Amino acid sequence: MFKIFLGLHLLTAIFLIGPLAHAVTTASRGLRTGDAAATAASARMARIYAIGSLLVVVLGFALMSLTSPYTKQPSGEFTDLWIWLSVLLWVVAVALTMGAIVPTLDKATAAIGSAEPVEGLTGRIAGAGGVVGLIFVAIVFLMVYQPGS
């Protein structure tokens, strides 16, 4: 059972977090080109994958409840530094995505459709997207190196 949950956790991380990181880090491209369809698609993808990323966390908690066949120990506890810090970073990344990136992309889509300038929004999207990408890099390192264990 452990290996099944580990596989599902890794697969959902790859196929949900990967596209989320891609969507938020490349969203500013639509702003630079003035492409309303691209900004709308980026906002939609970021929203869908941010919500879907909850499945990664749920599977991670399920994995924590199981005993590792490799160490014969519980695979982790929420009090472990690498686990609670990863969850906290995930919350920050999703909050940044849903609270800053998606609304700004929606605003940019409307502005582009009205032929209004969006240059002021490009930096905000690029910066927030970069931070979200770096947060997910930090989470991967926490998951691999498991500091405090």
Contact criterion met (CB below 8 Å) for 97 and 42: no
Structural domain boundaries, residue 133: 2-145
User: Which residue would you say has higher pLDDT here, 148 or 15?
Assistant: 15
The pTM (predicted TM-score) of the whole model is 0.92
Share of the chain above pLDDT 90, in %: 76
The pLDDT tens digits of the residues spanning 30-84 come to: 888 899 999 999 999 999 999 999 999 999 999 999 988 888 888 889 999 999 9
What is the pLDDT, as a whole number, of residue 135?
A: 97
Number of domains in the chain: 1
Query: What is the spatial distance between Cα 36 and Cα 49, in angstroms, rounded to a whole number?
Result: 20
pLDDT of 148 strictly over 90: no
**C-alpha dihedral, 146 to 82 to 59 to 27, nearest 10°:** -100
The mean predicted confidence, pLDDT, of the chain is 93
